[in-house]
C-alpha cells in the first residue's frame, strides 16, 4: 500500500469523518438493534446508500462535519491554528441557522458567543459533558501531528469554545492524539498507541485517561463481546433500564470510537461499521472513528462512490471539503505552521 502524504492524510481525515458522520446519521438515536442490523445487513453487504435519514437524503452529514469544517475554516482564516478564529466560525454557523442536529451544549455556547462572551468562557460548563469537542477534532490531529504539546493545547482549546468540562477536553485530546499517532507511517501497534495516548490525556482529564487505558482490554474482544462492555461497566451515565446504545456523553462515545478505529486501523469500512453497530450516537462515533482511520489510510482508501454523495443541503460536497483540507495542509505543512 502506498504511504499517503501528509496532505492526503488531512483530506482523508476530514472526508473519513464526514462519510462516517453521514453513514451513522441514518440510524442516529434509533434502537440499538436497528443500528446493529443496519451495520451488519446493509453496510456489511454492500448496500450503503439504500437507506437515508428520516429528514434528509442519503449523504447529508450533521453538525459533526459542519463543526470540523468550521475548525479548518478557522485555520484558513487565521493562516494557522487560532481558537478565536474557530469560535467566530462556530458563531457564524449557528447564527445562520444551518446547524444539523446540534446538541444543547454547542447551541448554548453559540448563544454566548453571539452575546460577545470570549471563547475561553463560552463553552457549556460542567457537569454537562457532551462529545461535541471530540467529534470534530480529528483533522487537527493530522495538522499538528509533529508537535504533540501544541496538539494537546489546541485540541483542548477548541473544545472549550463549546464545552468546559475537563472530560470533554480529555476526549478531544484522545481523538486528536489517536489521529496523530495513527497517522505515523508503518505498522500500527494498538496497545503501544493507547499507552502513548494515555500519557497525552492524563494532564487534561485523569478520568478520560483511565477509561482510554481500559480500551486496551477491549481490543482482545470481538465486537459481539465488546459491545457489552460500556453497559456492563456503567460507563455511560445516560444509560437507562432499556439499552439504546451509547449516548452523547463524551466518555463512553470516545472509548467506543477508539475501539472501533484501533481494532481495524487500516480498514476504514470495518472501523466505521463497528462504530455504528453499538447504536445510540452513531453519527458521532462513526465520525470519530472515521476521522482517525481516514487520517491513517488517506483519501484514496475511502469509498469514492459514497464520498460523491456527501452534501450539506446541496453545498460543501466532498470536492469542496477536500479543497479546504488542501488549503489548510498547505498552511501547516508547507508554511510556517499553526500559530
Under the banding of pLDDT at 50, 70 and 90, the label for residue 164 is very high
Q: Reduce the DSSP state of residue 315 to 3 states and report it.
A: strand
Segment 272-309, tens digit of pLDDT: 999 999 999 999 999 999 999 999 999 999 999 999 99
Q: What is the pLDDT of residue 338?
A: 32
Q: Reduce the DSSP state of residue 35 to 3 states and report it.
A: helix
Q: How far is CA 234 from CA 220, 222, 239, 250, in A?
A: 20, 20, 8, 14
Dist. CA 122–CA 114, nearest whole Å: 10
Q: What is the pLDDT of residue 213?
A: 98
Under the banding of pLDDT at 50, 70 and 90, the label for residue 1 is low
Give me the mean pLDDT over the 79-94 stretch: 97
Give me the mean pLDDT over the 120-146 stretch: 97
Give me the mean pLDDT over the 211-217 stretch: 97
Direct distance between the N- and C-terminal alpha carbons of the chain, in angstroms, rounded to an integer: 34
Segment 176-185, tens digit of pLDDT: 999 999 999 9
Q: What is the pLDDT of residue 331?
A: 87
Q: What is the pLDDT of residue 206?
A: 98
Q: What is the pLDDT of residue 248?
A: 96
- The pTM (predicted TM-score) of the whole model is 0.96
Q: What is the mean pLDDT of the chain?
A: 95
Nearest-Å Rg of the Cα atoms of the chain is 18
Structural domains of the chain in order of their starting residue, each with its CATH number: 6-48+57-334 (1.10.4080.10)
Q: What is the pLDDT of residue 239?
A: 72
Q: Are 18 and 259 in contact (CB under 8 A)?
A: no
Segment 3-21, tens digit of pLDDT: 899 999 999 999 999 999 9
- Using CA atoms in the order 20, 22, 27, 33, what is the torsion angle rounded to 10 degrees? -20
Amino acid at each position: 500500500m502506498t504511504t499517503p502524504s501528509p496532505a492526503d492524510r488531512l483530506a482523508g481525515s476530514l472526508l473519513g469523518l464526514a462519510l462516517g458522520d453521514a453513514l451513522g446519521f441514518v440510524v442516529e438515536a434509533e434502537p440499538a438493534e436497528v443500528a446493529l442490523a443496519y451495520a451488519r445487513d446493509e453496510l456489511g453487504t454492500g448496500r450503503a446508500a439504500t437507506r437515508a435519514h428520516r429528514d434528509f437524503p442519503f449523504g447529508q452529514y450533521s453538525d459533526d462535519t459542519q463543526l470540523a469544517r468550521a475548525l479548518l475554516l478557522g485555520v484558513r482564516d487565521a493562516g494557522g491554528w487560532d481558537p478565536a478564529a474557530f469560535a467566530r466560525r462556530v458563531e457564524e454557523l449557528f447564527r445562520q441557522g444551518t446547524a444539523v442536529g446540534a446538541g444543547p451544549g454547542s447551541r448554548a455556547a453559540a448563544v454566548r458567543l453571539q452575546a460577545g462572551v470570549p471563547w475561553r468562557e463560552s463553552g457549556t460548563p460542567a457537569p454537562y459533558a457532551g462529545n461535541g469537542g471530540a467529534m470534530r477534532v480529528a483533522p487537527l490531529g493530522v495538522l499538528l501531528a509533529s508537535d504533540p504539546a501544541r496538539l494537546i493545547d489546541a485540541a483542548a482549546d477548541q473544545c472549550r469554545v463549546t464545552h468546559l468540562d475537563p472530560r470533554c477536553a480529555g476526549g478531544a485530546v484522545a481523538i486528536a492524539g489517536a489521529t496523530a499517532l495513527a497517522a505515523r507511517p508503518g505498522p500500527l501497534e494498538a496497545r503501544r498507541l493507547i499507552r502513548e495516548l494515555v500519557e497525552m490525556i492524563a494532564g487534561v482529564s485523569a478520568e478520560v485517561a483511565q477509561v482510554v487505558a481500559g480500551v486496551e482490554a477491549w481490543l482482545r474482544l470481538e465486537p459481539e463481546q465488546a459491545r457489552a462492555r460500556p453497559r456492563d461497566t456503567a460507563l455511560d451515565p445516560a444509560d437507562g433500564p432499556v439499552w439504546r446504545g451509547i449516548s452523547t456523553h463524551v466518555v463512553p462515545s470516545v472509548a467506543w470510537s477508539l475501539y472501533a478505529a484501533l481494532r481495524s486501523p487500516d480498514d476504514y469500512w470495518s472501523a466505521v461499521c463497528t462504530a455504528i453497530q453499538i447504536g445510540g450516537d452513531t453519527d458521532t462515533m462513526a465520525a470519530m472513528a472515521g476521522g482517525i482511520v481516514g487520517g491513517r489510510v488517506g483519501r484514496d482508501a475511502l469509498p469514492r462512490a459514497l464520498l460523491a454523495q456527501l452534501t450539506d443541503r446541496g453545498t460543501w460536497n466532498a470536492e469542496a471539503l477536500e479543497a479546504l483540507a488542501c488549503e489548510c495542509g498547505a498552511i501547516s505543512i508547507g508554511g510556517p505552521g499553526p500559530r
